[in-house]
Amino acid sequence: MDTINILLIGDIVGRPGRTIIKDHLSEICKEYSVHCVIANCENAAGGISITPEIAQELFSYKIHVLTTGNHIFNNRTIIKLLESNKYILRPANFPKGVPGKGYTIIKINDFTIAIVNLIGRINMEPVDCPFIAFNTLYDEITSKTNIIIVDFHAEATSEKKAFGWFADGRASAVCGTHTHVQTADETILPNGTAYITDVGMTGPFDSVIGMDKESSIHNFIYHTRIKFKVAQNDPRLNAVLVTCNKQGRAVSITRIIKSYELSPGNS
Ligand SMILES: [Fe+2]
Ligand SMILES: [Fe+2]
């Protein structure tokens, strides 16, 4: 095997998102000859967090590594799992002392793959610099592998674009998450890094980025912060397939969007 096919799944939102993974991940893996699955799970529990039970549920559907983002500590029961399980990550550029880890290394067939989770700082919490954090991690990781997949969880397009150029030739892929809207700018940068500003969302699209439309509109108008509910309808999967060679360079990046019928237990 000269290349490896890595599927990156955009933020899984609530039960509708999990149901898509349960019902359809294996057929997608067959269709695209996927060897490695990485998914962002920060919204998998009720749309705003992840629990240990739901993380284990997602692992049972054959996801190799779960990445997260700004919602990771909304449910603190996840802390133990972050500390004990090397396949669930929190952003690497959270300050020193934060539980969990920001990257992991897995082996699949002849390939050793590092998965790095970073988070942006523009219109987000004031964490450590993701660029400097990547430099430090890169020095650590390159002694072990040159296949490095980055989930860059960030709001600002400019910050993601800048990071893509910054990591070009060092990361195999820089895939943005967090906005829940897939961008159509997938490309291979000149030095061999696959790049997309945002992979998108796996969840209900009849929504405001996964949340019930009415509560979202209400909160924008009245600022009374009524509780968001996960929406239910129009389930879709957003992902990208990145193919990398043994040198850690990307040879292709393909956007994937799938629409599904609502499954009976999910209405
Ligand atoms: Fe998200
Ligand atoms: Fe997020």
What separation in Å is there between the alpha carbon of 119 and the centre of ligand 2? 9
Nearest ligand (C-alpha, residue 41):
1
Angle at 216 between CA 212 and CA 222, to 5 degrees: 145
- Residue 132: what pLDDT? 98
What separation in Å is there between the alpha carbon of 59 and the centre of ligand 2? 20
Asked if 119 and 71 touch (Cβ cutoff 8 Å), the reply is no
Of 238, 230, 260, which is closest to residue 54 (Cα–Cα)?
230
Residue 35 is a catalytic residue: no
Query: What separation in angstroms does the CA of 80 have from each of 43, 47, 114, 205?
Result: 18, 20, 22, 32
What separation in Å is there between the alpha carbon of 181 and the centre of ligand 2? 12
HSE toward the beta carbon, residue 228, CA cutoff 13 A = 22
Report the C-alpha gap between 168 and 166 in whole angstroms: 6
What separation in Å is there between the alpha carbon of 154 and the centre of ligand 2? 7
Nearest ligand (C-alpha, residue 43):
1
Catalytic residue among 24, 64, 71, 153: 71
- CATH 3.60.21.10 holds for 3-266: yes
Query: What separation in angstroms does the CA of 227 have from each of 18, 48, 76, 218, 239?
Result: 21, 11, 19, 10, 28
What separation in Å is there between the alpha carbon of 11 and the centre of ligand 1? 5
pTM: 0.97
Provide the residue type at 132 as one letter.
Answer: I
Per residue of the chain (267 residues), give pLDDT as tens: 899 999 999 999 999 999 999 999 999 999 999 999 999 999 999 999 999 999 999 999 999 999 999 999 999 999 999 999 999 999 999 999 999 999 999 999 999 999 999 999 999 999 999 999 999 999 999 999 999 999 999 999 999 999 999 999 999 999 999 999 999 999 999 999 999 999 999 999 999 999 999 999 999 999 888 888 999 999 999 999 999 999 999 999 999 999 998 765 554
Nearest ligand (C-alpha, residue 125):
2
